[in-house]
Amino acid sequence: MLREINDRAAIEVLLREGPLTRAELELAIGLSKPATAQLLTRLEQDALVVKAGVRGGGRGPRAQLWAANGSLAFVAAVDLTPHQADFVVADVAGVVLAEYRTPLPVHAGADVVGTFGEALQKVAGEAGIQREDLAHVVIGAQGAFDPRTGLLSSAPHIPGWLGFDVPQKLSDELGVDVLIENDVNLVAVEEMTVGMAQDVDDFVMVWLSEGVGGAVVIGRRLLRGATGGGGEIDWMRVPDPATVDTGDVWPEAGARFGNLVDSPAICRLAAAHGIEAGTAWEAVEKAGKGHPFLDDLARRVAGGVANLVAVADPQLVLLCGDTSRAGGEEFAALVQEKLHELVLPRTPVGCASVQGNAVRAGALQSALATTREDVFGVVTPTLLGSRRPEGDSTRPRSTSPDR
């Protein structure tokens, strides 16, 4: 048992830090020199680690480097949007082997499974493998995924992906294990891994871009909800605190939060303040510091965030998406100011820090976590994707056991 614990600890360090010398690994896991040497011999014989060149520099012989054996398994991650699909393939050690971007049909009646499979085959081929060699594929999509049924909802922008058991159908027809996850949940995964939330247990994310989304993390686990709707803040009913008339008429119960802070709504709010823009992020960039438009927008955002803070009392609120990025930390500070006028907790508000395609990056982290558990026995519960619940009456996925 102790040997297994030490082996797993060594692999965890190599996966996290990359190639290390024996001395560096010895220091990281706290074993003696002879014990570490025996551990590496054992792991090499089991093909779990491989020699990975040498560390140069200084006088004397160069030190041998050791790395987790990435060739044991391969994964893919995809950011699926109405405009394009962004693919990446990596080995189980996390080394990126190929990337591919292409528009895919998402309209009702389209052969979404077939065209997705063709794109997946192409990027796998560029990585030097076959599609069937992929141990796990994670797709990030703008919608709510119900793990009990495999259905996507709240995704009218990709109608071709609605009305069928997405992971089951893709897994069966493509011959690979497929999971689909909400895009903002995956951004939260990436922030927990390398971003602002690495040392935070409880936080919420609010995505402001063309549309609106959210994620809630409690105890470093995503709150997905009974039907996959955890964090779907778009449908919250909130009053409109704007100080100008935008021409919108809201129901007595209040506006949908998504109807207040999606891109078209923000453009109308900006126009009421004399700022003409084609997108929300353009409007935010045009507004100078202290512009009353930004005050009104911050009030709207804070009104929705206040509901999350009042219930979850998180340590941190992170804003992400194109609109949030355009406003930066100054806008986050303004939202924080307005938020503290509405709730008792003095929750800080900041901007997500991950650059590039955070949805795809989070999907890759999730795929790696699941595959590393299968290959190395290394478990990272924080990053594992949702699975169909055991004992569910619907047909289980045939390509991998439920967890």
Distance, in Å, from the CA atom of 41 to the CA atom of 366, rounded to the nearest integer, reads: 30
Question: Is 302 a domain residue?
Answer: yes
Average pLDDT over every residue of 44-63: 84
Contact yes or no for 121/164 (Cβ under 8 A): no
Sheet order of strands, 349-351 included? 221-222, 212-218, 203-208, 316-320, 349-351
pLDDT in tens, 13-28: 999 999 999 999 999 9
328 and 217 in a common domain: yes
Question: Is 337 a domain residue?
Answer: yes
Distance, in Å, from the CA atom of 127 to the CA atom of 343, rounded to the nearest integer, reads: 50
What's the pLDDT score for residue 380? Answer: 79
The Cα angle at residue 401 between residues 2 and 160, in degrees rounded to 5: 135
Question: Is 388 a domain residue?
Answer: no
10 and 87 in a common domain: no
Average pLDDT over every residue of 163-168: 95
Model confidence at 403: pLDDT above 50: no
Share of the chain above pLDDT 90, in %: 83
Average pLDDT over every residue of 206-215: 94
Average pLDDT over every residue of 357-384: 90
Exposure letters 326-351 (e unless 16+ CB within 10 A, then b): bbeeebbebbbebbbeebeeebbbbb
164 and 129 in a common domain: yes
Question: Is 395 a domain residue?
Answer: no
312 and 207 in a common domain: yes
Model confidence at 129: pLDDT above 80: yes
In total, how many domains does the chain have? 3
Question: Is 82 a domain residue?
Answer: yes
373 and 278 in a common domain: no
Distance, in Å, from the CA atom of 347 to the CA atom of 189, rounded to the nearest integer, reads: 20
76 and 59 in a common domain: no
28 and 97 in a common domain: no
Question: Is 10 a domain residue?
Answer: yes
138 and 276 in a common domain: no
Model confidence at 30: pLDDT above 70: yes
User: What does R_g of the chain's alpha carbons equal in angstroms?
Assistant: 23
Distance, in Å, from the CA atom of 332 to the CA atom of 341, rounded to the nearest integer, reads: 15
Model confidence at 381: pLDDT above 60: yes
Distance, in Å, from the CA atom of 241 to the CA atom of 43, rounded to the nearest integer, reads: 61
What's the pLDDT score for residue 289? Answer: 87
Confidence of residue 399 (pLDDT cuts 50, 70, 90): very low
Average pLDDT over every residue of 299-327: 96
What's the pLDDT score for residue 312? Answer: 94
Average pLDDT over every residue of 200-212: 95
State the CATH number of the domain containing residue 47: 1.10.10.10
Backbone angles phi, psi at 242, to 5 degrees: -60, 145
What's the pLDDT score for residue 354? Answer: 87
- Structure token digits, residue 222: 């995503």
Average pLDDT over every residue of 139-155: 91
What's the pLDDT score for residue 60? Answer: 57
The distance of Cα 348 from the centroid of its chain, to the nearest Å, equals: 21
Average pLDDT over every residue of 230-256: 92
Q: Which residue from 266, 293, 287 is spatially nearest to 212, judged by alpha carbons? A: 266
State the CATH number of the domain containing residue 289: 3.30.420.40
Question: Is 327 a domain residue?
Answer: yes
Average pLDDT over every residue of 109-130: 97
Q: Which residue from 256, 216, 218, 214 is spatially nearest to 237, judged by alpha carbons? A: 256
- Structure token digits, residue 188: 């939260």
209 and 182 in a common domain: no
In whole numbers, what is the pLDDT of the chain averaged over residues?
92
Confidence of residue 385 (pLDDT cuts 50, 70, 90): low
- Structure token digits, residue 328: 């930066």
Model confidence at 277: pLDDT above 60: yes
Q: Which residues contact 1 (CB under 8 A, 6 or more apart)?
A: none
240 and 263 in a common domain: yes
pLDDT in tens, 321-342: 999 999 999 999 999 999 999 9
203 and 342 in a common domain: yes
Average pLDDT over every residue of 107-119: 96
Question: Which of 51, 68, 85 is where one domain is finished?
Answer: 68
SS3 category, 281: helix
Question: Is 142 a domain residue?
Answer: yes
What's the pLDDT score for residue 395? Answer: 39
Average pLDDT over every residue of 63-76: 96
Which is it for strands 203-208 and 316-320: parallel, antiparallel or unpaired? parallel
Average pLDDT over every residue of 338-355: 95
Model confidence at 388: pLDDT above 80: no
SS3 category, 43: helix
Contact yes or no for 156/143 (Cβ under 8 A): no
Question: Long-range contacts made by residues 286-289, C-beta under 8 angstroms, separation at least 24?
Answer: 289/330
224 and 114 in a common domain: no
Confidence of residue 42 (pLDDT cuts 50, 70, 90): very high
Distance, in Å, from the CA atom of 92 to the CA atom of 102, rounded to the nearest integer, reads: 24
pLDDT in tens, 235-245: 899 999 999 99
Question: Which of 19, 53, 68 is where one domain is finished?
Answer: 68
The distance of Cα 166 from the centroid of its chain, to the nearest Å, equals: 18
What's the pLDDT score for residue 372? Answer: 95
Average pLDDT over every residue of 280-303: 96
Question: Which of 44, 68, 92 is where one domain is finished?
Answer: 68
> What is the pTM assigned to this prediction?
0.89
Domain range for residue 49? 2-68
Confidence of residue 300 (pLDDT cuts 50, 70, 90): very high
